Chains A and B, each alone.
Chain A
Amino acid sequence: MTALAVLLLLAAGLAWWGARRTRDSADYFAAGHRAGAWLVGIAGTAAAVSAFTFVGGPGMFAAVGAGSLWIILSAPLTGALQCWAVGEPVVELAEKHRVLTIPELVAGRFGGHATRALAAAVVVVGCVASLAVQARAVAVLGEDFLRVPGAAAAIAAMLATTAYTALGGMRASLVADAVQGGVMAGLAVLLAAAALVAAGGPGAAVATLEKARPVLLGSFGAAAPPQAWAWYLLFCVGTCAQPHYLQKFLFLRSRSQLRALPAVLTGALAATLAVWIGVGLAGTALVAQGAVTLGRPDDLAPRTMSLLGPWAVMLAGVAVLAAMMSTAASFLNLAAAAVTRDLQEALGKPALGIPAARVATVVFAVAATAIGVTSERAVVVLGLVGWGFFTAALLPIMTVGLAWPGATARGAVAAMAAGAVVDLVLESARPLLPAGLEPGLAGAAVGMLALVAFSWRAR
């Protein structure tokens, strides 16, 4: 409870600071286009890393071993990939048109109100779903790590995030995200190292698993190779389609800041992912040694932290809160911008101002928290709409669409609609799908075909 009270006080201070420095929409939605590579890189990593990295990742290692690593093995490539594929054209378009949001950028490239409206709808649906899942995650993890009622943890975390996001916009959120990103990276390395020491060191942990559960080792662990390859591709090229990643390119003060960005992104991400590899490997070895018992794979991180001591449980709680808040702040701002700017202008009306965006931020936060805390079924359904949904709907237009002059507005609309629908249909039938058929990738593939076909037809 003390930690949550401190969190709320810090958030109130940041909200006050941000509100005093936010003068116009560019400040509120795009941090004034004044950020450098370090700030954007660390904040971008913080926004990208959710609580899943600290809990779901190690849990996946316990379930499928080295196979889970294929989700993060593309980390060395993704920073440069984002800058090569989308960062450079996004920054150039943003400088030329002074765009503040991703749907506005899509309209700047393709023209037409329909592209902007559909992109805004995709952003709103994906953001609300992701926010509800974040709220639910904090509710569950608050009980495990902070030993407080789940609803109290979710409400306090979302209240703190909403305070500085609504009042200070991305001017405040960017600073908060960067601080949270630094905290997460440091704690991830510390907790991973402590877990490995508890397991007798990396060599001993691997030796334990080789003896007790060799099926978890090897190149793919217990995962089917096609599934592992599909994860690699989804989390590699999928980074080019996540609006909370793309949004950060709009904050850069100049194109030259891109040069150092992959190094910052990759360094911060690699440090944070140490918790997945370290706690996953060490925790699974501790389970094999009988030092930790699991009811389900997701218990691995909380039980391993409990074994390390109260200090580790507390620090892991702080890291999980930081991960959730930094991700939620970006989604809140993106959703508010989509409703108060993009949908308004796509419908031919003037954009609403900052006061309306603040109200929209609060409304999205309340709705997402209510869904996340009260309805497990709704969260399960919304959980389907996440990384894969954004990949399916936005990857074709953000990669080929930004590079190919023949891509048309009609093709872009067809790509977004087809990708989103295919992803949702396949996600709802996921248990029936063969290994390697990832709904997000299949949606992106169909969207890509729609983009090319409708654009050629229009010409």
Chain B
Amino acid sequence: MRPEKPARAPLAPVLAAGLALALLAAPFVPALFPAVVTVASVAACALAFARRPSRPLLLALVGLAAWLAIALAGAWLLRERPLGGLAWVLVVLYMVPLPVIPWLYWMTFRERRE
């Protein structure tokens, strides 16, 4: 089988290597963790943008990054509050995005690679 060449993603190796180094450092510099979690999760989704760039997909990815950054920051700020912290992670990080993120995928889906 001949190797398949995917669409261009020139930043992928640089970003991947940087994220890998940050991920290895994060257990020793915990302040890095929320940023690594946000960037790694959204960067994985953004691999679709490298294959089929579009404005709706870009907006969806920016929205995802903002939501995750706010959700993780809020969890950190509310870590000492028993009720507030639990409610925050259950509502903001879990329940609210349950219907929203699949809908974002539905709305940004394109039938074929352009």
Contact = CB atoms under 8 A, between A and B. Distances in A.
Partners in one complex: yes
A256 B110 CA distance: 8
A185 interface: no
A277 B102 CA distance: 21
B106 A85 contact: no
Given A218-B82, A219-B89, A445 B1 contact: no
A186 to B, nearest CB: 18
Contact of B82 (A214, A406, A446): A214
A439 to B, nearest CB: 11
**B9, B19, B81, B105, most chain A CB atoms within 10 A:** B105
B6 A255 contact: no
B28 to A, nearest CB: 7
A259 B112 CA distance: 12
Contact of B94 (A75, A260, A263, A265): A75
B112 to A, nearest CB: 7
B27 A270 contact: no
Interface in A397-414: 399-400, 402-407, 409
B71 to A, nearest CB: 9
Interface in A246-294: 255-256, 258-260, 262-263, 265-267, 270, 277
A83 B3 contact: no
A267 B105 CA distance: 14
Contacts of B94: 69, 72-73, 75-76
B70 interface: no
A97 B2 CA distance: 10
A449 interface: yes
Contacts of B28: 434
B1 A66 contact: no
B98 A266 contact: yes
A226 B75 CA distance: 12
B8 A405 contact: yes
Contacts of A88: 48, 51-52, 113
Interface string B30-71: 100110110011001111101110000000000010001000
Contact of B24 (A79, A270, A442): A442
B106 A270 contact: no
A343 interface: no
A448 B102 contact: no
B41 A79 contact: no
A217 interface: yes
B101 A262 contact: yes
Contact of A79 (B12, B16, B33, B102): B102
Given A232-B37, A233-B40, A403-B9, A206 B86 contact: yes
Name the prevailing secondary structure of the A interface residues. Answer: helix
Interface string B63-107: 010001000101110111111011011100110011011111110
Contact of B51 (A74, A89, A433, A452): A89
Contacts of A196: none
Interface of B: 1-9, 12-13, 16-17, 19-21, 23-24, 26-28, 30, 33-34, 36-37, 40-41, 44-48, 50-52, 64, 68, 72, 74-76, 78-83, 85-86, 88-90, 93-94, 97-98, 100-106, 109, 111-113
**Closest 9 A-B residue pairs measured CB to CB?**
A111-B3, A217-B82, A219-B85, A218-B85, A84-B48, A436-B27, A76-B97, A263-B102, A219-B75
A83 B86 contact: no
Contacts of A448: 16-17, 19-20
Interface string A215-229: 001111000011001
A449 B102 contact: no
Contacts of B109: 258-259
Contacts of A267: 102
Interface stretch (A13-21, A102-110, A127-135, A139-147): A102-110
A229 B38 CA distance: 10
Contacts of A451: 13, 16
Contacts of A233: 23, 36-37, 40-41
